[in-house]
Amino acid sequence: MTNEIKSNADLKIIVPIIIVITLLLCAAIFIVNYLGDRADMFIVSSGFTGKITVIYGQADGIAEKNDGEHRIFDIPQSGILSTQSIYKDVWNSYYYRMPDGKLIPLAQGNPHGMRGMPTGVYSDVDTVFVADVNTMKVDINGKQIYVTTYKVEKSGYK
């Protein structure tokens, strides 16, 4: 057979490579879970679609909510939240709050391919997703503040 391992020397190379790949994969899974567990939570009412704007560091804004692990940002129906919270560059998670209070995670990124057709796991569902997340530092009356915008959109495919 031409594909047989020819010697113990081959095994001495292959086994460490497999171990390193396994360790890297485990580390990546751990990091994603760790960041996800500490994510800021942005929550909109079920059915909301449109542009969201979060304005940070506003003295007259909504006080920061925290459940002990996450900062929680409840987005009003207007789509504009002015908050006293400072901007933190952390992993974010986005949810719909259903009428019964249950939180449903929103997909992140446009589920459509380059030509607007649904791709992958989103191809047979009516997906609501978060797209075009953008955070910018703006100067208002000599004060630097952070503003984050994003869109909540519906794919329209079922």
Per-residue pLDDT of the chain (158 residues; tens, 9 = 90+): 455 556 666 778 888 888 888 888 866 666 655 544 557 899 999 888 899 999 999 999 999 998 888 899 999 999 999 999 999 888 888 898 999 999 988 877 765 554 444 444 444 445 777 888 889 999 888 889 999 999 988 875 44
Distance CA 115, CA 45 (A): 30
Q: Which residues pair with 95 in a beta bridge?
A: 43, 105
Predicted local distance difference test score (pLDDT) of residue 29: 67
Closest CA to 38 of 96, 106, 92: 92
Whole-number Å distance between alpha carbons of 125 and 133: 22
Element (DSSP H or E) covering residue 9: helix 8-37
Q: d(Cα 110, Cα 42) in Å, to the nearest integer? A: 18
Give the pLDDT of residue 30: 60
φ, ψ dihedrals at 151, nearest 5° = -115, 140
What pLDDT does residue 36 have? 45
Q: What is the pLDDT of residue 61?
A: 94
Q: How far apart are CA 116 and CA 101, in angstroms?
A: 33
